[in-house]
Chain A
Amino acid sequence: MLKTFKIGGVHPPENKLSKDKKIEVLPLPKTVFIPVAQHIGAPATPVVKKGDEVKVGQVIAQSSSFVSTNIHSSVSGKVTKVDFSADSSGYPKQGIFITVEGDEWMEGIDRSEDLVKEISVDGPEIVKKIQEAGIVGLGGATFPTHVKLVPPKGMKAEVLLINGVECEPYLTSDHRLMLEKADEIMVGIQLLMKAMGVDKAVIGIENNKPDAIKLLNEKCAAYNGVSVQALKVQYPQGGEKQLINAVTGKEVPSGALPIAVGAVVSNVGTAFAVYEAIQKNKPLFERVVTVTGKGVEKPSNFMVRVGTATSELIEAAGGLPENTGKIISGGPMMGRAIASLDVPVTKGTSGLLLMQKEESKREEIQACIRCSRCTSVCPMGLEPYLLMTLGEKQIFERAENERIMDCIECGSCSYTCPSSRPLLDYIRFGKGKVGAMIRSRKK
């Protein structure tokens, strides 16, 4: 039976234009810009300087605290500078510029396609290697994976949920990965289960990917404790709390982490990265990126080295269409509009969406008619119309009481509002202020 989460949700047009396009390896770029902050947490500290020769897979920035992670070079060549440049946020971020020379990999990385099934390391060793390999959540949140695998004191993980939902319209990178790297993902899941010490894992996949559901179901037969759960297509099912709710029926309490209900969620892409890190000794420096959009000549899925400029991907997909109005890093619901084609692919880049001019402008804002659609689609059971007003009028104490911090910024409210009101814009503003208020109280 199809499951889904219990509260709210929307179903935007899926537009999975690139779902039948095999993952192609993108040709090596001439230069890369690798930001040192590609994850949630403290930025890594650069350990190379101008003029250094680096190899593929070499650590170029070191993890600076527990919630942080290593950054590896995705290419071989010469470091030209360590400087600031804009990433997808639009703000200048520190990173390492490398001019590509050849493609020389670090020794010890297994570049063969052979599947390594045998697991020869123990749990703590797996966590350590994940940390060293710079693995973060590849679904987009980029939370360092090793942190998730070590539950806080007094809490115990019971189940591993693998996120193959890909509920964002247009994106197909996880879908393709599940179809083309199913065996590797299954081994990755085994590794994650071993690291967490759990004997149960569920792969959640939305029903618009029947081929992936079928394939992974077949693979599951060979593994104990791993199963596939088909899910009704409903955005934002890929949200951690929504996925847990859909699969287990449990609700993560307000302000708590998934581990509070015994769950840890990892993306299929993360599971694949874990496989590569441990079985192939290959750190995380490349990922699958969907390049898509209604005007794109060849919607594609590329295996891309981190640090590659957006322009290279667009070129490979047939070039920038004349009437492009907006370029989004990520999906249309939660992705970020980027201002420049120089923005690099990072560990969290799941796709590039090119929107045509006519799709790029927002509609005129009209008066709220109190239709309550925002309230009924909110997956967190909040009242976006009220939170927007509280943000707008800067009534932050009340906003906190109305649980503004529970908002996961999925955008369902703004998407559905018939008056095209910028609900999420004001809620984000409110969240920023309330968050600061809460932090100052703790001090």
Chain B
Amino acid sequence: MSKLLTVSPSPHVHSSESTQKIMLRVVYAMIPAMIWGIYMFGLDAVRIGLLSVLSCLAVEFLIQKYIMKAKPSITDGSALITGVLLAFNVPASLPWWIIIIGAIAAMGVGKLSFGGLGSNVFNPALVGRVFLLISFPVQMTSWPVTRMMEVDAVSAATPLAIIKEGIKNGIPVSQLQRLPNLSDMAIGFNHGSMGEISALLLVLGGLYMLWKKVITWQTPVSIILTVLVVSGIFWVVNPEMYVNPVYHIFTGGLMLGAIFMATDMVTSPMTGKGQLIYGIGIGLITISIRMFGAYPEGISFAILIMNAFVPLINMYIKPKRFGGQ
């Protein structure tokens, strides 16, 4: 018999799923929020977005090719996601060189120093963001004006910063000026980083990812519910000092963090139960920082801290075994 046959162990068929397809779905899910950011912040947002993506791709390529001497994997789509997420997490007015530093921190330190895709412990985009926040606190918290503001304004405050100021100075919530109303915040007439301002569009992206089975419900739902419940308890006890819990859900990076950052497959737990623990942890740390910490916003730190617990969670939280224990 002359015909040469392939012999390999089963299974002999493979689903049509691929890493690249999953990554692309995440990118699709980010498009609504991206368009909104560009609409609100104009060309600044385009500039930051492009710079961030290109720098992330370039850093990954250069490090893989010249330092790791490996085949560059920039086409798998993961660097693209990090680039977009990093841009989502900074003010659109950030100087160009700072975002490049952010990309180096995100890709170089956050991802490739661990060995690249799949090996990193911390969410790379958040490593970049927190690095920038600590290194360039002024630029990272100078929020650009949006098209919705009066023309003479030069800078704006995020709702969380306003609330934090209020707590610091003992001003009751009811007397806080300039706090946008809830529906404006939900839709995205709001100040903040370019990708975080529209809670609704982020939720839309999240629903798409749920439908496409890119993420599971456990992580985002447990984060949001924990924040809602804890801030709700404080609010019920003292509504003059603490804001309505719904504010917490719609402000800052909560939606962005809960839907797009905490759900990062590489850095979140493998089981549904583990994801619930992880999500509750993120929720608790976030709300603690927001209420009692030095920073107005806490979800980035919360996710990074819980990232560090993921290996431990995976070690102890096992899926339900067939046939019991």
Residues of A within 8 A of B (CB): 7, 10, 12-13, 90, 169, 241, 245, 251-254, 256, 311, 320, 324-328, 330, 332-342, 353, 355, 359-363, 366-373, 375-376, 378-383, 385-386, 403, 406, 409, 411-412, 414-420, 424-425, 428
A332 CB → nearest B CB, Å = 4
Q: List 9 contacting pairs A-B, 8 Å CB cutoff, sorted by A.
A: A90-B7, A252-B323, A326-B5, A359-B12, A381-B322, A406-B321, A406-B323, A412-B11, A419-B19
Within 8 A of A (CB), among B237-265: 265
Which listed residue (B9, B265, B271, B320) contacts A7, Cβ 8 A?
B320
The complex places the Cα of A12 from the Cα of B11 at a distance, in Å, of 11
Q: Is the interface of A mostly helix, strand, loop or mixed?
A: loop
B11 with A333: CB separation less than 8 A: yes
Q: Which residues of B contact A245 (CB under 8 A)?
A: 322
Stretch from B116-124, B141-149, B156-164, B201-209 that touches the partner: B116-124
Confirm or deny: B18 has a beta carbon within 8 angstroms of a beta carbon on chain A: yes
Interface string of B258-292 (1 = CB under 8 A from A): 00000001111011000000000000000000000
Give 7 new A-B contacts, CB below 8 A, not counting A90-B7, A169-B13, A367-B119: A253-B324, A254-B323, A256-B323, A332-B10, A363-B14, A418-B18, A425-B9
Q: Name the residue of chain B whose CB is nearest to the CB of A361.
A: B6
B15 with A241: CB separation less than 8 A: no
B322 with A424: CB separation less than 8 A: no
B15 with A372: CB separation less than 8 A: no
The complex places the Cα of A335 from the Cα of B11 at a distance, in Å, of 7
A381 with B321: CB separation less than 8 A: yes
Q: Which residues of B contact A366 (CB under 8 A)?
A: 19, 73, 76
Confirm or deny: B134 has a beta carbon within 8 angstroms of a beta carbon on chain A: no
Q: Which residues of A contact B265 (CB under 8 A)?
A: 369-372
Q: Name the residue of chain B whose CB is nearest to the CB of A419.
A: B19
A375 with B270: CB separation less than 8 A: yes
Q: Quick one: which of A411, A418, A419 has the most chain B CB within 10 A?
A: A418
**Interface contact tally, CB-CB below 8 A:** 161
Confirm or deny: B3 has a beta carbon within 8 angstroms of a beta carbon on chain A: yes
Residues of B within 8 A of A (CB): 1, 3, 5-15, 17-19, 21-22, 73, 76, 78, 116-119, 265-268, 270-271, 314, 318-324
Which listed residue (A353, A375, A412, A418) contacts B319, Cβ 8 A?
A375
Q: Which residues of A contact B15 (CB under 8 A)?
A: 10, 12, 415-416, 418
B11 with A415: CB separation less than 8 A: yes
Q: Which residues of B contact A383 (CB under 8 A)?
A: 270, 318-319
- Tell whether A326 pairs with B322 under 8 Å between CB atoms, given A12-B15, A366-B19, A372-B271: no
A373 CB → nearest B CB, Å = 8
Q: Is the interface of B mostly helix, strand, loop or mixed?
A: loop
Q: Which residues of B contact A425 (CB under 8 A)?
A: 9
Q: Name the residue of chain A whose CB is nearest to the CB of B274.
A: A372
A336 with B10: CB separation less than 8 A: yes
Which listed residue (B1, B270, B318, B319) contacts A341, Cβ 8 A?
B1
Which listed residue (B11, B270, B319) contacts A411, Cβ 8 A?
B11
The complex places the Cα of A418 from the Cα of B323 at a distance, in Å, of 28
Q: Which residues of A contact B117 (CB under 8 A)?
A: 367, 369
The complex places the Cα of A332 from the Cα of B8 at a distance, in Å, of 11
Q: Which residues of B contact A10 (CB under 8 A)?
A: 15
The complex places the Cα of A153 from the Cα of B210 at a distance, in Å, of 50
Q: Quick one: which of A90, A332, A371 has the most chain B CB within 10 A?
A: A371
Q: Name the residue of chain A whose CB is nearest to the CB of B270.
A: A372
B14 with A371: CB separation less than 8 A: no
- Tell whether A385 pairs with B270 under 8 Å between CB atoms, given A90-B7, A169-B13: yes
Q: Which residues of A contact B14 (CB under 8 A)?
A: 362-363, 414-415, 417, 420
Q: Which residues of A contact B270 (CB under 8 A)?
A: 370, 372, 375, 383, 385
B19 with A332: CB separation less than 8 A: no
Q: Which residues of B contact A417 (CB under 8 A)?
A: 14, 17
Q: Which residues of B contact A360 (CB under 8 A)?
A: 6, 12
The complex places the Cα of A415 from the Cα of B9 at a distance, in Å, of 12
B266 with A370: CB separation less than 8 A: yes
B263 CB → nearest A CB, Å = 11
A424 with B119: CB separation less than 8 A: no
A7 with B322: CB separation less than 8 A: yes
Q: Quick one: which of B15, B22, B116, B271 has the most chain A CB within 10 A?
A: B15
A335 with B19: CB separation less than 8 A: no
Q: Which residues of A contact B267 (CB under 8 A)?
A: 370
B309 CB → nearest A CB, Å = 15
Q: Which residues of A contact B3 (CB under 8 A)?
A: 320, 324, 341
B315 CB → nearest A CB, Å = 10
Q: Which residues of B contact A411 (CB under 8 A)?
A: 10-11
**Minimum-distance CB pairs A-B, first 3:** A411-B11, A367-B118, A381-B321
B142 CB → nearest A CB, Å = 35
Q: Name the residue of chain A whose CB is nearest to the CB of B8.
A: A337
A241 with B322: CB separation less than 8 A: yes
A425 CB → nearest B CB, Å = 6
The complex places the Cα of A305 from the Cα of B130 at a distance, in Å, of 71
A328 with B319: CB separation less than 8 A: no
B324 with A251: CB separation less than 8 A: yes
B210 CB → nearest A CB, Å = 14
The complex places the Cα of A254 from the Cα of B322 at a distance, in Å, of 7
A326 with B7: CB separation less than 8 A: yes
Q: Name the residue of chain B whose CB is nearest to the CB of A423.
A: B11
Q: Which residues of B contact A311 (CB under 8 A)?
A: 1
A251 with B7: CB separation less than 8 A: no
A209 CB → nearest B CB, Å = 20
Q: Which residues of A contact B10 (CB under 8 A)?
A: 328, 330, 332-337, 409, 411, 424
The complex places the Cα of A226 from the Cα of B10 at a distance, in Å, of 35
The complex places the Cα of A428 from the Cα of B9 at a distance, in Å, of 10
B22 with A369: CB separation less than 8 A: yes
B9 with A418: CB separation less than 8 A: no
B266 with A369: CB separation less than 8 A: yes
A418 with B13: CB separation less than 8 A: no
Q: Which residues of A contact B266 (CB under 8 A)?
A: 369-370
Q: Name the residue of chain B whose CB is nearest to the CB of A260.
A: B323
A335 with B12: CB separation less than 8 A: yes
A278 CB → nearest B CB, Å = 34
Q: Quick one: which of B18, B117, B320, B322 has the most chain A CB within 10 A?
A: B322
A371 with B22: CB separation less than 8 A: yes
Q: Which residues of A contact B116 (CB under 8 A)?
A: 367
Q: Name the residue of chain A whose CB is nearest to the CB of B319.
A: A381
- Tell whether A325 pairs with B6 under 8 Å between CB atoms, given A332-B13, A369-B19, A370-B118: yes
